[in-house]
Amino acid sequence: MSIIGAVNSGFGAYSAGAYSPAAATDSKPILNPNESTQRAPGKLSSPAECETCKNRKYQDGSDEMVSFKSAQHISPQAAAARVRGHEAEHVSNAYKDAAQHNGKVLQASVSLKTAVCPECGRTYVSGGVTATKIKYSNEENPYQQARKSMDKQGLLGNNVDLAV
């Protein structure tokens, strides 16, 4: 199983409230351009001013050679696609491994995880998980050879057409 951690998808938080001059003077600097400057009720900052979202990085925790082995920041607009692409690398590696070692991929699935930023209330893609199941056949195993022998005995003569 492969896991990639904390990413930002750029979904804006629901926000309510009117503009007030006092709020404009108390606002923080714009850290995330093209994001809403309105603060959601009960949140510390708006998505445009959120320090947590600006500094969010994620890193792959698997032992495979894939992207994001070192922590990297992803732009909010590209995060969901980048995580999906990264998880596709794990699926591709599973198919390559199965082909190289006489195996068959029985199942491969990718799921993206979401979370809510505690500072600004933005919903973001927080990571992804890839799960694969591969069946490998071992022809040298004596139990496997015995099973094939038993299958052969049971199947001999099953497809004989005696009508001549």
pLDDT in tens, 23-60: 444 556 676 666 777 777 767 777 677 788 888 888 88
For 137-155, write each residue's pLDDT tens digit. 877 888 878 888 888 777 7
- The pTM (predicted TM-score) of the whole model is 0.62
Statement: residue 131 has pLDDT above 90: yes
Please tell me what DSSP assigns to residue 70: S
Contacts of 32 (CB under 8 A, 6+ apart): 47, 48, 49, 50, 53, 54, 76
Q: How confident is the model at residue 94 (pLDDT cuts 50, 70, 90)?
A: very high
Between CA 86 and CA 93, with CA 91 as vertex, the angle to 5 degrees is: 95
Specify the pLDDT at position 56: 85
Q: In one letter, which amino acid is 50?
A: C
Q: How sure is the predictor about 17, in pLDDT bands with cuts at 50, 70 and 90?
A: very low
Q: pLDDT band at residue 63, thresholds of 50, 70 and 90?
A: confident
Backbone angles phi, psi at 98, to 5 degrees: -65, -40
Q: What pLDDT does residue 38 have? A: 73
The beta-strand segments (E) located in the chain are 2-4, 57-58, 72-73, 103-116, 123-136
Average model confidence (pLDDT) for the chain? Answer: 76
Residue given tokens 């591709």 in the structure block: 92
Closest CA to 116 of 48, 68, 47: 47
pLDDT of residue 2: 57
